[in-house]
């Protein structure tokens, strides 16, 4: 009995630590910042810090981060103050973290966090190889056509789509986005994109901070998608 209690006492801290912190393969992109690409410090499971680049034009290289109680905490590199946090759903081992700049109003109290983070599960089911992931940062509904896919997203909504089957001989598919303004649908983007295996797109709908007009921003990801998490 004494041996069993001793074994429990030795193993319990390790078991609690395993439940408390887990590794997550993260890739980053930032949205809405001005100037050089920002960086963030992810707090590791042992209290250390991992530098994470937040590029604005493409997805970053993978970085292994620690989710403690399903949350990855980020600090500012300049003063080590809290910068943002990302909630990683249980069972997710790979994710794309989109850092969205929080608008700052001169006459309002400072935000607790200058960034909010959108977490996209980086799995073939959620972010398909050869397909596209659409996120709506616009303040109202959007609707769109990606090949044969037709979708509508409310503000804050997101959805992943498989590689369009309706492609021409150059693997191009029609991409059309419309925003609702004053109860009318208005075309904001009408183009074509090339869809191939090993190539994926992040497509964001947003309001341009300078002009105030709705815009579409597209990120191309040439990296192979992360493997699906074990069931």
pLDDT tens for the chain, 231 residues: list them: 454 444 444 443 444 444 568 999 999 999 877 788 999 999 987 778 999 999 988 999 999 999 999 999 999 999 999 999 999 999 999 999 999 887 666 554 555 578 989 999 999 888 899 999 999 989 899 999 999 999 999 999 999 999 999 999 999 999 999 999 888 999 999 999 999 999 999 999 988 777 778 889 999 998 555 555 444
Answer yes or no: pTM beyond 0.85.
no
| Domain extent listing, the chain | 21-122, 130-231
* Cα–Cα dist 97/145, whole Å: 25
Assign residue 166 a region (left: φ > 0; alpha: ψ between -120 and 50; beta: otherwise).
Answer: beta
Q: Are 71 and 90 in contact, with CB atoms under 8 Å apart?
A: no
CATH class of 21-122: mainly beta
3-state secondary structure of 6: helix
Long-range CB pairs of 206-211 (<8 Å, 24+ gap) are 206/31, 206/32, 206/137, 206/138, 207/137, 207/138, 207/139, 209/32, 209/103
């Amino acid at each position: 009995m004494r041996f069993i209690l001793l074994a429990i006492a030795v193993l319990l801290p390790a078991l609690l630590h395993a439940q408390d912190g887990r590794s997550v393969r993260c890739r980053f992109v930032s949205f809405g910042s001005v100037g050089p690409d920002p960086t963030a410090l992810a707090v590791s499971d042992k209290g250390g810090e991992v530098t994470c680049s937040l590029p604005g034009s493409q997805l970053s290289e993978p970085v292994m981060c620690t989710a403690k109680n399903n949350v990855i905490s980020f600090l500012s590199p300049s003063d080590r103050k809290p910068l943002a946090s990302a909630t990683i759903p249980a069972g997710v081992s790979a994710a794309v973290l989109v850092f969205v700049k929080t608008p700052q109003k001169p006459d309002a109290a400072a935000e607790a966090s200058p960034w909010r983070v959108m977490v996209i599960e980086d799995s073939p089911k959620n972010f398909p190889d050869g397909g596209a992931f659409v996120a709506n940062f616009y303040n109202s509904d959007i609707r769109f056509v990606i090949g044969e896919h037709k979708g509508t997203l409310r503000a804050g909504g997101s959805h992943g789509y498989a590689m369009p089957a309706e492609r021409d001989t150059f693997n191009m598919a029609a991409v059309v986005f419309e925003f609702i303004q004053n109860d009318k649908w208005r075309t904001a983007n009408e183009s074509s994109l090339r869809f191939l295996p090993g190539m994926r797109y992040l497509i964001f709908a947003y309001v341009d901070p300078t002009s105030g007009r709705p815009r579409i921003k597209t990120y191309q990801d040439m990296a192979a998608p992360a493997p699906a998490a074990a069931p």
